[in-house]
């Protein structure tokens, strides 16, 4: 993948590897990593474009499971309870709004449903799970993923700033980011930038939210009359729960669990750099204005409503 400046391939790879190592250090924050990935590819291109998506999927799962070794089951259950009603309410609200706004804009039903599903639950993962169930086309998927990808990138940078301006507590910000940001990677990245307690709460609530992919897929199967379609289950979430249980009930030395969580946070920063590296001007342009309006409307609505609920109740 070429960038604005056509540099020697060997030099391109060398700079890329140095940047990757820098992301694994403690000197780069999650928002900087995301923006840096986009700027790197825009300027110099990507030396390994065919490996980018595979690396993102693997690294994110490993990082999330590793973060489980820094959590306690009691804390996780408490966070899950706090986020349950918010999760259910926000999913229903997003899907209903998505249906009516999509109709108002004259959008194709499958595209609006995919985009609403991604906003309602967990971004790209929900879109990937629902798409085959409703017989979505490759264009439907690429448009929905493009919109979600862009809004995720904005949210990762914007949410920590807004959280500090609004003087949200760690608990409040963790809940808000888990409800209002699409992808797990951006949720965890924003919460990591805000603080450790926010990170614990956001990760737990978001992964519990991701399990709603299963009932959403079943509902989508019924609404679009799909037959013989398989439903994808995010199995890595169960490994995350297992990590929490091991950390809670086994006498694992703190130096071990601490090292695992530290390494997982570094891997998360690298993942966000690679996510930024996968975002291009072409992808943004290909989304079109109707899906962008729908995605932005749903995102703003769910962000404001969930924020008001969290401020007044939590």
Distances (CA, A) of 154 to 15, 35, 82, 274, 279: 25, 9, 26, 15, 12
64 touches 188 (CB < 8 A): yes
| N residues, the chain | 314
**What secondary structure letter does DSSP report for 211?**
T
Domain spans of the chain, in order of start: 9-313
Distances (CA, A) of 5 to 42, 46, 138, 276: 9, 12, 31, 18
185 touches 203 (CB < 8 A): no
The one-digit pLDDT tens for each residue of the chain (314 residues) are 666 778 888 899 999 999 999 999 878 888 888 889 989 988 888 899 888 888 988 898 898 899 889 888 887 787 777 788 888 999 999 999 999 999 999 988 888 999 999 899 888 788 888 888 888 877 777 788 888 888 988 999 999 999 999 999 999 999 999 999 988 889 999 999 999 999 999 999 998 888 888 888 888 888 887 665 666 777 888 898 899 999 999 989 999 999 999 999 999 899 889 988 887 777 667 667 888 999 999 999 999 999 999 999 88
């Amino acid at each position: 993948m070429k960038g604005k400046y056509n540099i020697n391939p060997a030099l391109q790879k060398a700079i890329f590897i140095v940047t990757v190592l820098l992301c694994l250090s403690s000197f780069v924050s999650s928002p900087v990593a995301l923006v840096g990935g986009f700027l790197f590819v825009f300027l110099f291109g990507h030396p390994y474009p065919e490996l980018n998506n595979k690396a993102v999927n693997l690294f994110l799962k490993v990082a999330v499971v590793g973060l489980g070794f820094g959590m306690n089951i009691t804390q996780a259950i408490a966070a899950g309870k706090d986020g349950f009603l918010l999760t259910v309410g926000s999913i229903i609200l997003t899907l209903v709004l998505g249906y009516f706004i999509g109709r108002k804009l004259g959008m194709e039903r499958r595209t609006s449903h995919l985009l609403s599903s991604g906003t309602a639950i967990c971004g790209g993962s929900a879109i990937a799970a629902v798409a085959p169930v409703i017989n979505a086309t490759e264009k439907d998927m690429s448009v929905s993923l493009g919109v979600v990808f862009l809004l995720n990138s904005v949210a990762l940078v914007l949410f920590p700033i807004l959280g500090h301006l609004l003087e949200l507590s760690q608990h409040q910000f963790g809940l808000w980011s888990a409800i209002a940001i699409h992808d797990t990677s951006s949720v965890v990245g924003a919460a990591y930038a805000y603080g450790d307690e926010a990170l614990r709460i956001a990760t737990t609530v978001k992964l519990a939210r991701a399990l709603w992919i299963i009932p959403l897929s079943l509902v989508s199967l019924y609404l679009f009359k799909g037959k013989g379609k398989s439903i994808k289950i995010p199995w890595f979430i169960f490994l995350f729960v297992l990590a929490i249980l091991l950390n809670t009930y086994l006498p694992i030395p703190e130096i071990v669990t601490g090292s695992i969580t530290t390494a997982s946070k570094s891997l998360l920063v690298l993942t966000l750099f690679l996510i930024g590296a996968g975002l291009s001007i072409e992808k943004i342009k290909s989304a079109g204005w109707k899906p962008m309006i729908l995605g932005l409307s749903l995102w703003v609505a769910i962000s404001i409503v969930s924020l008001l609920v969290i401020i007044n109740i939590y």
